[in-house]
Structure 1
Amino acid sequence: MSEPVRLSKRLIEQLGCSRREAEQYIEGGWVTVDGVVVEQPQFKIDGQQVALLPGARAEALEPVTLLINQPAGMDAESARASIGMDNLSQAHSQDVRPLHGHFARLACVAPLERGATGLQLFTQDWRVTGKIERDLRKLEQEYIIEVRGQASPQALERLARGITRNDRELPKAKASWQNETHLRLALKNPQPGQISELCASLRLEIVSMRRIRLGGVSMGKLPLGQWRYVAVTERF
C-alpha cells in the first residue's frame, strides 16, 4: 500500500513542473482532487485523481484589497481573523475568484477609531498601503453618527469653517442631518477623539459612529459582518 504524498509532489510527478510552479497552480485554485479544488500544496493524497482545471496558470497570486463592514465590539485584528469564504458578500462575489491565499498577509490601513464600526480596510498590496499612507491627510472620510441632542443648521455650518475647542483647532467638517437622530459627517484625517470633540461642540452626545467612505471608496450596501473585494477600478 502506497504512502500518502503531498499534493504538490504528485503534481510535479504528473506535469514534470518545478516545485514552485506546482505550488502556484495549487494556491491559484487550479488543481482538483477527485473533482474538488484544493488550495493547500501540503494536502496529503493517496490514490485520488489529481487534475488541472482548464486555463490553469502557474502564476503568483495578485495582491488584493478587502473591505469589511466591521460590527460593534470587534477590533481590527478580530475583523481580519473573521474574513473567510463564509462571509464574503454574495452581492460582491462575482468579480474575483475567491482564494484562501487572499486571506494571508493582510495589513490594516487607515484603521477605524476605537469603538467605531463600518468600513475597515485590509490589503496585501504595498502600493495601496503606500498610497493611502501618503494621501491620508487629504482623504475625506465619511461617517454616520447616531447622537442624542439637537443642533441647528447654522451650528452645523460652523463646522465647515473650522472651530477651536479647549484651545485646540479641530478639522473642518461637512455636517448634515440624515434624520432626527443620525448625523452625516465628512472630514479629512480625523485623529482619535476629534469626532467626539466636534459633536461635543454642538452639545451632541455620540451613541455610535459608523464609517461609510474612505476617499473615493464607499462601503455601499455591504451587510454587517461581511466583506468584499475592492475593485482595481475603485480609487481612494
Structure 2
Amino acid sequence: MTSTTQYRLNKYISDTGFCSRRQADKFIEQGVVTVNGQLATVGLKVTINDQVQVDGKPLKEKPARVYLAYHKPVGITCTTERHIKGNIIDAIGYSERIFPIGRLDKPSEGLIFLTNDGDIVNKVLRAGNAHEKEYTVSVNKPISSHFIAKMSSGVPILDTVTLPCKVSQISKNTFKIILTQGLNRQIRRMAEYLGYEVVKLKRIRIMHVRLAELRAGQWRLLDKYEMAHMEQLIEHSAKTATVDNTLARHHDEE
C-alpha cells in the first residue's frame, strides 16, 4: 500500500470496520461524509493521506479482521440498523463494528457469518461462485418423491428457475437441501410453489463451516484452519459486482 494508491470511498470506509460498503454509500448520500473538509460524493476515490470523517468524526485505524460464526435464533433480524428491535448486532453484542455476510429471514435460524472485512462479502455471496449452503427444512405435510424430485431439478420462482440442487428426505415432513444460490426467500418460495409451507428452516452449514454444537444465540470466532480453508475456497471467486449490488441481489435465503 502506498500513499498514492486510490480507493473507492465506500471501500476505504468499510475497510476500517466502520460499516459495510452499502452502508457507507448511504452515509455519503445522506451528506454526513467529508473528505478533507468537503462533502463527499458516491464513487469518489481517496488515498490514505486524505482526511475522511463521518458525522464529523475521523475514522479509526483499520482494525484486525474479524470473522464470526453465529447461530441466529428465530426472531432476530439480519440488519445493522440498531433502531430495529431484535437486530443481529445488538443480539451478538460484539465489541467492534461488524456486519452479516448475507442474511437469514427473521423466522429462520442457523449459521450466519459476520465480519468487519468488506472484501470477503462478494466472494462468499456471489451465486456464480457455487459456495454451498446446507439447510434442514420441515414442512406442514408429508413429503412426496415428486416434491424431492422437483425441488432437486429446479422450481420457477421470481421470474427464473432455481438451479439444480441436492435434496434428500430426512423424515416424513423434513428434508435436507444444499443450495449454491440465494434468491430471496428461496426455499420457502420453492416449497410454496409445490403446495407446501415451511414451518421450520435451519441453516447448518456454509461452505466447510458447520453449525455443529453452537446453540441458538451463541457465536464463536472462526479458527485459523477454517479461515485458511475459506481463503482457498474463495481464492478464485469472481468479484465483478460491488458489495452493494451483491447484497441487493443475493439475499441468502431464507
Q: TM-score by structure 2 length?
A: 0.55
Distance 1:200 1:62 in 2: 43
- Report the counterpart of residue 223 of structure 2 in structure 1: 231
1:95-135 superposed Cα distances (whole Å, 9 cap, x missing partner)? xxxxxxx6312021121134321112110223433432456
Equivalent residue for 2:90, pick from 81, 84, 87: 81
Q: Does 1:172 align with 2:164?
A: yes
1:172-224 superposed Cα distances (whole Å, 9 cap, x missing partner)? 22211222232211112221132122212433211121111112221112111
- Report the counterpart of residue 141 of structure 1 in structure 2: 133
1:151/1:203 contact within 8 Å kept:
no
- Report the counterpart of residue 132 of structure 1 in structure 2: 124
Unaligned runs of 5+ in 2: 1-61, 80-86, 234-254
Equivalent residue for 2:74, pick from 69, 72, 80: 72
Report % sequence identity.
Answer: 24
Q: How does 1:79-228 map to 2 (within 5 A)?
A: 79-84=88-93, 103-134=95-126, 137-164=129-156, 168-228=160-220
Where 2:168 maps in the other structure, the secondary structure is strand
- Which letter does structure 2 place at the counterpart of 1:79? I
Distance 1:207 1:103 in 2: 34
Distance 1:166 1:121 in 2: 26
When residues 184 and 134 of structure 1 are mapped into structure 2, their CA distance, relative to the original with a 3 A threshold, is closer
2:101/2:121 contact within 8 Å kept:
yes
- Report the counterpart of residue 28 of structure 2 in structure 1: none
Where 1:81 maps in the other structure, the secondary structure is helix
- Which letter does structure 2 place at the counterpart of 1:212? I
When residues 120 and 154 of structure 1 are mapped into structure 2, their CA distance, relative to the original with a 3 A threshold, is same
- Report the counterpart of residue 16 of structure 1 in structure 2: none
- Report the counterpart of residue 63 of structure 1 in structure 2: 65
- Report the counterpart of residue 93 of structure 1 in structure 2: none
Distance 1:168 1:125 in 2: 31
Q: Return the index of the structure with the highest Cα Rg.
A: 1
1:109/1:123 contact within 8 Å kept:
yes
Q: How does 1:4-43 map to 2 (within 5 A)?
A: none
Distance 2:67 2:158 in 1: 39
Alpha-carbon RMSD: 2.7
Aligned residue pairs total 161
Distance 2:118 2:153 in 1: 36
- Which letter does structure 2 place at the counterpart of 1:126? G
Distance 1:169 1:106 in 2: 34
Q: How many Å apart are 1:167 and its aligned residue?
A: 6.3
Unaligned runs of 5+ in 1: 1-59, 85-101
Where 1:212 maps in the other structure, the secondary structure is strand
When residues 142 and 207 of structure 1 are mapped into structure 2, their CA distance, relative to the original with a 3 A threshold, is same
1:113/1:192 contact within 8 Å kept:
no
Distance 2:154 2:118 in 1: 34
Distance 1:157 1:62 in 2: 46
Q: TM-score by structure 1 length?
A: 0.59
